[in-house]
Chains A and B, each alone.
Chain A
């Protein structure tokens, strides 16, 4: 048996060594990790318009991502659609947790405009909750601000092979292409992830088996997220 003083001494020395070591490693790898994350966020924006780029940016190297992303124009608006000049749209992605915790009236809304062949595509972000943790994504809309051309999802802690399939499964994401968020009468319908298969091919997509709660999270994320974006998108469309 060790005396209490010996125990305290051992624990103190050990935790100090571990804390200093891990802090050092974290500080040393932080620039690399931050750069990786920035590239990853840019890929997320580009992945939403991948059908227009003609290629999935998933396996691109950093230089390719940067050169393609330079063609995208980023804007930031407040909830009423007034432009916020002193914010960079892609930086909001780094702080998405903080930004989305704010009340809608205080939140900043990023919009990226990708132009191809004279047509403009609008990329917006959505944010919600999966089974274990946060989920988020980007949605690209045609200039009618109604038809979806592509989506990209990401998550913090969904189970690989189940909930994480929203990010990893190309088949799930490709279902969104061509879906509409308003019906012919102009009513807001959003996109519903339907368990047991989509019944309405305009506003619904098939869910992933084994990932019901994550699928419901995607539904909520779309219903709420795109509703908030309505005035913002109208403003973005009128920007020169």
Chain B
């Protein structure tokens, strides 16, 4: 798998608790130079599926950070006791438990968000980033470091999600952050229920220059996410040629 080629070399030294240089890197590396999606190539499928709109992507990112961090912590605490024969099943039980916790909490305290995310919450269980990090890192490292690694990789995944969702929602629907209190309607034809900043149906004024504009329906479909992630990988590697050798 791709993660074996990454720069996470297992450290045997005592961790400099709580925040040494190594610990900071555990958080910052996955954001860019060791990003779980674009460099480790994990979690691509869910990055294609969940990124139609910014707000659900944002909530899913928070949930993934939570699940990643605490499943890494739990796995690391148990790492010397987990029987090797059932290692992956045990990891899966830990992940599924945490995802169920997320679901129950959302259902009780934020029902509208729960309704909006619908199937995406359950999809976290199948997100290979979570299990990938448990296998590659948490099984061989101390709890605090594993916890930070979980947070870092969750954030790295969330960053890609938000970037992709931003472009998909903007060009696919002409809106941003729909569903959240900060929702804005950028470009489109005004109708009975929605007013856009740039009204492409306007007879005169600024909006009338945009009467040619139409939403790109490809952006709504998962294929668009592939293009955006592809462009991001291209940009990332041309900026830092060292990354090219790794993959």
Contact = CB atoms under 8 A, between A and B. Distances in A.
A164 B116 contact: yes
A168 to B, nearest CB: 7
A182 interface: no
B228 interface: no
Interface residues of A, number: 39
Contacts of A21: 97
A103 interface: no
Contact of B86 (A11, A25, A26, A160): A11
A29 B83 contact: no
Residue of B83, B105, B173, B192 most packed against chain A (CB within 10 A): B83
A162 B220 CA distance: 7
A63 interface: no
A160 B165 CA distance: 12
Contacts of B136: none
Interface in B113-165: 115-120
B204 interface: no
Nearest to A31: B108
Nearest to A172: B193
B36 interface: no
B49 interface: yes
Chain A: interface secondary structure? Answer: helix
Contacts, number: 97
A154 B93 contact: no
Counting contact residues on chain B (CB < 8 A from A), the size range is 35 or more
A33 B173 CA distance: 32
A6 interface: yes
Interface string B96-120: 0100110011011101000111111
B82 interface: yes
B85 A168 contact: no
Interface in B181-196: 191-194
A231 B49 CA distance: 43
B111 A40 contact: yes
Interface string A129-143: 000110000000000
A160 B81 contact: no
Interface in A33-66: 33, 36-37, 39-40
Interface in B166-216: 168-169, 172-173, 178-179, 191-194
Interface of B: 49-50, 52-53, 56, 81-86, 89-90, 93, 97, 100-101, 104-105, 107-109, 111, 115-120, 168-169, 172-173, 178-179, 191-194, 217, 220-221
Given A132-B119, A155-B118, A161-B56, 10 more contacts: A10-B81, A11-B90, A22-B104, A29-B108, A32-B107, A156-B118, A161-B172, A171-B191, A171-B194, A174-B192
